[in-house]
Each structure stands twice: as structure tokens, then as C-alpha cells.
Amino acid sequence: MIRLLIAIFTVSLMSSVVQAADRHAGYYYPEPVYKEYYKARAKGLKTASRKTRIAFVTSITQQNMKREFSPEAAIFAKGEDAEKLIIVGLVDGRLDTIYRSRAIFANMTAAARTLPIFQELGVEDVFTFFDLAALMGFKQITITNGRNFTHQVLLQ
């Protein structure tokens, strides 16, 4: 009985520690179903800052709002230093599997490779969207359908 109580206490303590580590889980997205670690091939730019990350997200949002159709996802930065990139699906049935999430990241990689910064660095055929995010100083990327699926990439 004492072992059971200790186990329950330990699990509840670990649960509160995990929630403290990601205070956005449960508010902007459900607890992550999948987590992966990505060792970025790019080092953060010295000019990367909270301001540049917010400008990046604002630019994407403005481009999405100019389209003839409603955006399929909301993209925003959170965290004390705007180091967490969050992508929330706005259409049911679109971002509900790990495979669809990875496909979105593949599309984002294709788009990122056309950016001048990749071409200036000569890495447009090597770096991924995750590398671009690391260049900008993002530490975490979370993609969710906003209902019951969340995939999180922790950039190292």
C-alpha cells in the first residue's frame, strides 16, 4: 500500500513538472502525442531575436490572410523569448496524424528553400524548415489539429 501511494505521488509530481515545462499544453494545444528531437544543422544567427521571430510569424500570417480562401492553420510564437513556434489547424481532418504533420513540414521546407537567406548561405538543398527555425532561434515547434492530436519537435 505504501509503495502504491509513493508511486501515485511520484507520477503526480512528474506530471506537474512536465506541465510546468510546457505551460502552453492544455491551453493552445492538447498534450503532445508525439515528441521528437531534431539536431539542427544550423546554428542560431547572432541577429536572431524575439523581434525577428515575431516578425517572421507575422509575415506568414499576413501572407495567409491575403489568400482568396480562409487560412487552414494559425501560426504564432509563444514563450518568454518567442522561442516556441505553434501551428494550430483550423480545419477538421487536416492535421490529425503524424504523417500529415510531417507532410506539412515537408511543404514548409520546400517553401523555406526559396528564401534568400538559404540561398545566401548556400544551403537551400541541404537545410530543412527545422534548420530555418533553429537559425531564427526557435527551440520548439508544435503542430496540432487543435482537438486531440499534437506533434512536438524540440530543436537542439
Range in 29-38, 45-54, 117-126 the model is least confident about: 117-126
Q: What is the mean pLDDT of the chain?
A: 83
The larger pLDDT score, comparing residue 144 to residue 127, is at 144
For the stretch 42-85, pLDDT in tens is 888 889 999 999 988 998 888 888 889 888 999 999 999 999 99
The answer, yes or no, to whether residue 18 has pLDDT greater than 80, is no
CB burial of 117-147 (b: ≥16 within 10 Å; e: otherwise) equals ebeeeebeeebbbbbbbbbbbbbbbbbbbbe
Q: State residue 11's pLDDT score.
A: 38
The larger pLDDT score, comparing residue 6 to residue 116, is at 116
- C-alpha cell belonging to residue 152: 512536438
Q: How far apart are CA 5 and CA 54, in angstroms?
A: 45
